[in-house]
Amino acid sequence: MSRANPWHQAEGSTWLGLFALTLFMSATLLFLVQPMFAKMVVPLLGGVPAVWTTCVVFYQFTLLAGYAYVHATSRWLSVRWQATLHLAVLAFSLLVLPIHVPAEWTPAASDNPVIPLLFLLVASLGLPLFAISASAPLLQRWFSATRHPSAGDPYFLYAVSNTGSLLALLSYPVFVEPLLGLERQNQLWAAGYGLLGALTVCCASALWLSRPGRRLPKRVSVQPDPDAVGGGTTKAPGLRQRLRWVALTAVPSSLMLSVTTYISTDIASVPLLWVIPLALYLITFVMAFAGNAFVSHRLMSTLLPVAVLGPLLLTITSLPISPAWRSIPSHYIALFVAALVCHRELALSRPSTRYLTEFFLWISIGGAAGGLFNALIAPVLFETTVEYPLALVAACLMRPARSTDASIRARRLDFGLPALTTLLAAGLVLTSRAVGLPFHSLETNILFLGVPLLICASFWPRPVRFGLGVAGLLIVSLLVSRVNDQTLHVERDFFGSRQVILVDEGELRGLVHGTTVHGLQAIDDRRRRDPLSYYSRGGPIGQVFSRVTDDSRVTDDLVNRHVAVLGLGIGTLGCYATPNEHWTFYEINPAIVRLARDTSYFSYLRDCSPAYDIVLGDARLSIALVPDRFYDLIVVDAFSSDAIPVHLMTREAVNLYLLKLAPGGMLVFNISNRYLDLGSVLGNVAHDVGLVGITRLDPADADGARAEGILPSTWAVLARVDADLARLVQDPRWHRLPTTADARPWTDDFSNVFAALKWSR
């Protein structure tokens, strides 16, 4: 056996390190630019969901275009001509860097932001993003054309690429955003892109200098491990294989987004919680395509039905878990196991390098399909997060079978047994209706669906049987959820899910958005005009309006007062309106306006508001059109959940409100939040702008307060001078807004949500 030339070994190590570093760099830049650019355009376009959805769709299709470009050029060009073309694309894209949004680019407030945003994305970001998107399949194809001993199976480099994505994902909210403003981020990203171009030139040079047909000698020859990533199949992929590749990427993509939506909607809308599912998703890609198996694929495939059983039980039966956050680990475990099984199946079915670019093209199609289904289709089709259990079922269908019985009888049972289980669950539901059992108690939920679900668990050796059984129970659970005396209305759109529910044994109606209550109203005519939830007369906001009304009566300034409220809710604040005042509500979601005006649910607007207008659209963009010094009072209450719209609390936003505020007026903020300390955030901004600010916490702990529909709340008031705050400053329940030493105020260029988390203090 001949000994390996040390020079060849050194050359091989250099090539491998070069290609790995370039792939790592490209993936890092790709994941950094997405939140950075979205943050650039939100102050210009507002916080409408169409902004982020449009960005996501653009990123998905640009990635798809990059993979298609690599596949097409691989078919029609030699690898060296392909390298020449791609270097030209990289050089040309440098002309649009650093990324910028033209100062004159501001679409009309009445325009749909999607079309102008797409044009901006293409013009400002399209070419660099396209070039980066092509890197993963392109560099792997180039590496396969070198003389490195691993060139015959370059798929392990995909794990390196996803490691870069993971690093960027974790570093942006924790390090990049808190430490760097947008302008500095943009400059460093442009420098990183230049470095990527230089590294790509080095990779192309290594490719040109290589001598095809002669590979570097291997040091060790190992036997193939059936549980490790091997060399890929040399067989040309057929239609069935291509569709399987799409499914194996679409299902984990959809599942990752579904878990994120479910947890933030139905459990806790904690800021930055979306990072964990995406990180787990990327980790499974790294583990699946790494050169050695971290975990036995057979073991994970066996554990998959067990891992999904808990989340399926919670979602199908609506079992109450208190506190709700205790169920979060079970959802993360299910996502990790399901995604790892799917991605491992994907890695084990990868083709030879001859079909490498086509393989990655189908992967990108699957990822885009999963993302688009969750972002655009599911909110239209489903009233709740039904896509989550559907994705779990689909993941179970993707796992390899543990039963080798392929007889006709076994296949018939794959369909027959799930049908019988579904009929059993439906029969139990109908029986309970006949005998008058309560539909939504814990006991009946377990009886109706929990027992049949455990029966389905016995089907685990056969993926089709298990998946169809769970799918049948999901259908039954959807029918059961329709019969709920406490839920009056359910709907969902791109802003999230909303429910109108009965509270306190039917004495109150409430609007719930995800996990956040957005308003309560008493059904009793005697209390129908009483502001409840966060807006009670004895609470901070009630005291503010009492002070405004009393002072106006003293100064005879009550006539023709103008009040702006950013965020409508169910119109509760309208009950503080007085004659000869004119109120303007700014609301971004048309569905909220429709519900607030629907007197079969809520009647605050009809019963309390003498004269009001509702302006649809992003509040910050809309209020900018109002004449200066127009409003005597501005109330900012536009927080749709515990995840806040940052652009409504920046220095630029407060300066805008101040411009529209009449002399002696006040800015009032609802800063109630379970997870973020918004008091210090607002205090830092107020100090920077030169305003005085006070805050009051109402714990709603008086006898019977909760039973009457009064909820804990925290409010802050800003004014130009203390005299404008009048009697509020003298009340010991009000305190000065805290400020954080050496902390930068939030601006359109800089914000630090991570530091504002209460647990981080």
- For residue 69, being part of any structural domain is answered with yes
Nearest alpha carbon to residue 370 among 56, 646, 759: 56
The one-letter amino acid code at 393 reads: V
Query: Residue 571 is part of a domain; what is its CATH number?
Result: 3.40.50.150
Q: Within the chain, which residues score under 70 in pLDDT?
A: 1-12, 45-53, 103-113, 210-235, 265-273, 291-293, 316-325, 401-406, 432-450, 479-485, 514-515, 549-559, 639-644, 702-705, 759-761
| 37: number of Cβ within 10 Å | 24
Query: Residue 286 is part of a domain; what is its CATH number?
Result: 1.20.1250
Report the alpha-carbon distance of residue 103 to residue 461 in Å, rounded.
Answer: 61
Residues 283 and 374 reside in one and the same domain? yes
Output phi, psi for 254, to 5 deg: -65, -40
At 748, which helix (H) or strand (E)? Answer: none
Domain end call among 367, 400, 433: 400
**What is residue 564's predicted lDDT score, i.e. its pLDDT?**
95
At 609, which helix (H) or strand (E)? Answer: none
Residues 652 and 701 reside in one and the same domain? yes
- The C-alpha angle with vertex 253 and arms to 248 and 257, in degrees rounded to 5, equals 150
3-class SS letters over 175-190 = HHHHHCCHHHHHHHHH
Residues 436 and 572 reside in one and the same domain? no
3-class SS letters over 379-434 = HHHCCCCCHHHHHHHHHHHHCCCCCCCCCHHHHHHHHHHHHHHHHHHHHHHHHHHH
**What is residue 307's predicted lDDT score, i.e. its pLDDT?**
87
- For residue 223, being part of any structural domain is answered with no
- For residue 512, being part of any structural domain is answered with no
Nearest alpha carbon to residue 18 among 195, 178, 177, 182: 195
DSSP characters for 514-582?
TTEEEEEEESSTTTTTS--BTT-TTSHHHHHHHHHHHHHHHHT--TTEEEEEE--TTSGGGGG--TTEE
| 149: number of Cβ within 10 Å | 18
Token pair recorded at residue 565:
């409220």
Report the alpha-carbon distance of residue 404 to residue 387 in Å, rounded.
Answer: 30
Is residue 70 a contact partner of residue 138, using CB atoms and an 8 Å limit?
yes
**What is residue 639's predicted lDDT score, i.e. its pLDDT?**
66
Residues 100 and 170 reside in one and the same domain? yes
Which region holds residue 139: left if phi is over 0, alpha if psi is between -120 and 50, else beta? alpha
Domain end call among 481, 501, 533: 481
Range of 319's domain?
A: 230-400
- For residue 454, being part of any structural domain is answered with yes
Residues 184 and 278 reside in one and the same domain? no
- For residue 499, being part of any structural domain is answered with no
3-class SS letters over 648-713 = HCCHHHHHHHHHHEEEEEEEEEECCCCCECHHHHHHHHHHHHCCEEEEEEECCCCCCCCCCCECCE
**What is residue 398's predicted lDDT score, i.e. its pLDDT?**
85
- The C-alpha angle with vertex 748 and arms to 746 and 753, in degrees rounded to 5, equals 45
- The C-alpha angle with vertex 271 and arms to 265 and 272, in degrees rounded to 5, equals 105
- For residue 487, being part of any structural domain is answered with no
Report the alpha-carbon distance of residue 635 to residue 622 in Å, rounded.
Answer: 14
At 510, is the secondary structure helix, strand, or coil?
strand
Residues 98 and 170 reside in one and the same domain? yes
Look at the chain and count its residues. Answer: 761
Per the structure, the count of domains in the chain is 4
Residues 4 and 142 reside in one and the same domain? yes
- Identify whether 107 is preceded by a cis peptide bond (ω within 30 of 0): no
Residues 121 and 190 reside in one and the same domain? yes
Residues 428 and 379 reside in one and the same domain? no
Report the alpha-carbon distance of residue 426 to residue 419 in Å, rounded.
Answer: 11
At 630, is the secondary structure helix, strand, or coil?
coil
**What is residue 162's predicted lDDT score, i.e. its pLDDT?**
85
**What is residue 293's predicted lDDT score, i.e. its pLDDT?**
64
- For residue 560, being part of any structural domain is answered with yes
- For residue 185, being part of any structural domain is answered with yes
**Is the sign of the CA dihedral 613, 618, 623, 624 positive or negative?**
negative
Domain end call among 212, 239, 273: 212
Nearest alpha carbon to residue 128 among 107, 100, 106: 100
Nearest alpha carbon to residue 385 among 465, 274, 481: 481
Residues 305 and 260 reside in one and the same domain? yes
Residues 133 and 248 reside in one and the same domain? no
Token pair recorded at residue 1:
């056996």
Residues 475 and 535 reside in one and the same domain? no
**What is residue 252's predicted lDDT score, i.e. its pLDDT?**
94
Tens-place pLDDT, residues 529-553: 999 999 999 899 999 998 776 655 4
